[in-house]
Amino acid sequence: MSALWPRVRGFLWGGAKSGFALVSRPAMSKEHLIYLDNNATTQIDPAVVSEMMPFLTEFYGNPSSAYSFGARVGKSVLKARQRVASLLGCEPEEILFTSCGTESNNAAIASALAMDPDRQHVITTRVEHSAITKHCETLAKRGTEITWLGVDANGHIDLAELERAIRPDTAIVSAMWANNETGVLNPIPEIAAICHRKKTLFHTDAVQAVGKIPIKLSESPINFLSVSGHKLHCPKGVGVLYVSRRTKFHPFLIGGSQENNRRAGTENVASIVALGKACELAGDFMEHENSEVRALRDQFEAGVLEIISGATVNGDQSNRLPNTTSIAFDGIDSEAVLLVLDKYRICCSAGSACTTGSIHPSHVLKAMGFSTDRARSSLRFSFSRFNSKLDVEHALAVLPQVIAKLRKMAS
């Protein structure tokens, strides 16, 4: 733990008495939250709440029931399936509702391994979310062979290395569409084409990509794709696994015949309806995401690089999500910055995670070849359509002061 921590804590609790006076924040309501952590989760769109509410009150029927009260609910689940399919450019029958992105990721890999006992080799990358990495580590302990593909300093895998790694016993390749920490995009159509040519299944964790960049799955050789509702202005606890109609699926949850016998358990109707609406809105806002939201991110990033010395963007800047920037600040501890920014109601996330008192630098930034210090001095800022220019201006007014003061404390 950084030697700076006791002083940062002292500052937070002791204010000016600690010798670290509060930085000034321009005039703005003290309650206003500047939420720049939209890759962690998103604000639920009020239109999504309105759409789901009747299914928490009036329409509580079971969609599998034969009477019309149940059928009415069943129709709404079908409408949601159509809306999700429309955003992904696929058929409604290819949409499988799940409880979250993690379940979708686990289910895709489990299905591929259940397909053929002679194919028990999995290929993935070193920069995946823990919903893939931890699952693969657990599978490795049970005897599945895992090949981990590294990435370069831009965050990209080597496609020739991927091609060489695919073997006759490879069950599945899993590579994320967009990285949650850096926003770096993988060339998914090319990866899917390689897997198709080498006759192995391909799954992509598109949890961060869906709703931010256009996706069209019809005609694509992608076999499985994961979605999470709470990353696109929908409540937590609902997700999707796209299973292409060319792909056999072995259920992860066994029981009732819901989801066309592919996922047992009575449907989470209100959340499914919410996800349908959220996907419809994501389609409507796609252009906005790639113009206005991108402009907010770019304005913020350019401002940071101009005002704060020793700031460097992590990862490929030309091939990344429109809403994300990951920035390393020389000589600071990102966890300390988070604590101070919290005083100003500014939310972002650190390139490290604190578990039981010890700080782990981001596995993504480490895999990109960055030092532990650079990983520990990195912050991720992620924007959404609910952010404004005012948010950017306020963050740009506060952040440089916080970084300057923390650097002074550390020197």
Residues identified as active-site: 354
* Alpha-carbon dihedral sign for residues 354, 358, 361, 364: negative
Which range touches ligand PLP (CB under 6 A), out of 137-145, 203-211, 320-328, 337-345? 203-211
Residue 328, helix vs strand vs coil:
strand
Residue 359: both structure tokens together: 């700080």
Task: Decide whether 279 or 398 has the Cβ nearer to ligand PLP.
Answer: 279
Task: Decide whether 180 or 258 has the Cβ nearer to ligand PLP.
Answer: 180
Give the residue closest to ligand PLP by C-beta: 101
101 belongs to the binding site for ligand PLP (CB under 6 A): yes
228 belongs to the binding site for ligand PLP (CB under 6 A): yes
269 belongs to the binding site for ligand PLP (CB under 6 A): no
> What's the DSSP call for residue 237?
S
Residue 89: both structure tokens together: 């450019």
180 belongs to the binding site for ligand PLP (CB under 6 A): yes
131 belongs to the binding site for ligand PLP (CB under 6 A): yes
CA distance 135 to 189: 24
CA distance 367 to 328: 15
Task: Decide whether 73 or 95 has the Cβ nearer to ligand PLP.
Answer: 95
Query: What is the contact mask toward ligand PLP in residues 6 to 45, using x (rule: CB under 6 A)?
Result: ----------------------------------------
Report the Cα 251 to chain-centroid distance in Å: 24
384 belongs to the binding site for ligand PLP (CB under 6 A): no
Query: What is the contact mask toward ligand PLP in residues 50 to 89, using x (rule: CB under 6 A)?
Result: ----------------------------------------
Axis-axis angle for helices 101-115, 130-141 (nearest 10): 40
282 belongs to the binding site for ligand PLP (CB under 6 A): no
Which range touches ligand PLP (CB under 6 A), out of 78-86, 185-193, 204-212, 359-367? 204-212
Nearest C-alpha neighbor of 97 from the set 264, 284, 278, 277: 264
Residue 312: both structure tokens together: 């460097």
Residue 348: both structure tokens together: 């972002």
Amino acid making up residue 257: S
227 belongs to the binding site for ligand PLP (CB under 6 A): no
* Alpha-carbon dihedral sign for residues 155, 141, 225, 173: positive
100 belongs to the binding site for ligand PLP (CB under 6 A): yes
| CB 126, min distance to ligand PLP, A | 14
129 belongs to the binding site for ligand PLP (CB under 6 A): yes
| CB 195, min distance to ligand PLP, A | 19
Task: For residue 110, give every residue at least 6 positions away whose Cβ sits within 8 Å of its Cβ, in sequence order, or none.
Answer: 250, 252
Residue among 37, 205, 316, 335 that touches ligand PLP (CB under 6 A): 205
| CB 74, min distance to ligand PLP, A | 25
Count residues binding ligand PLP (CB under 6 A).
13
| CB 178, min distance to ligand PLP, A | 7
155 belongs to the binding site for ligand PLP (CB under 6 A): no
What would the DSSP string read from start to end of 173-235? EE--SB-TTT-BBP-HHHHHHHHHHTT-EEEEE-TTTBTTB----TT----EEEEEGGGTTS-
| CB 237, min distance to ligand PLP, A | 8
| CB 120, min distance to ligand PLP, A | 23
176 belongs to the binding site for ligand PLP (CB under 6 A): yes
Residue 225: both structure tokens together: 């794709």
Task: For residue 372, give every residue at least 6 positions away whose Cβ sits within 8 Å of its Cβ, in sequence order, or none.
Answer: 361, 366
CA distance 128 to 178: 9
CA distance 211 to 171: 29
133 belongs to the binding site for ligand PLP (CB under 6 A): no
106 belongs to the binding site for ligand PLP (CB under 6 A): no
102 belongs to the binding site for ligand PLP (CB under 6 A): yes
Nearest C-alpha neighbor of 96 from the set 337, 216, 323, 268: 268
Which residues contribute to the site for ligand PLP (CB under 6 A)? 100-102, 129, 131, 176, 180, 205, 207-208, 228, 230, 239
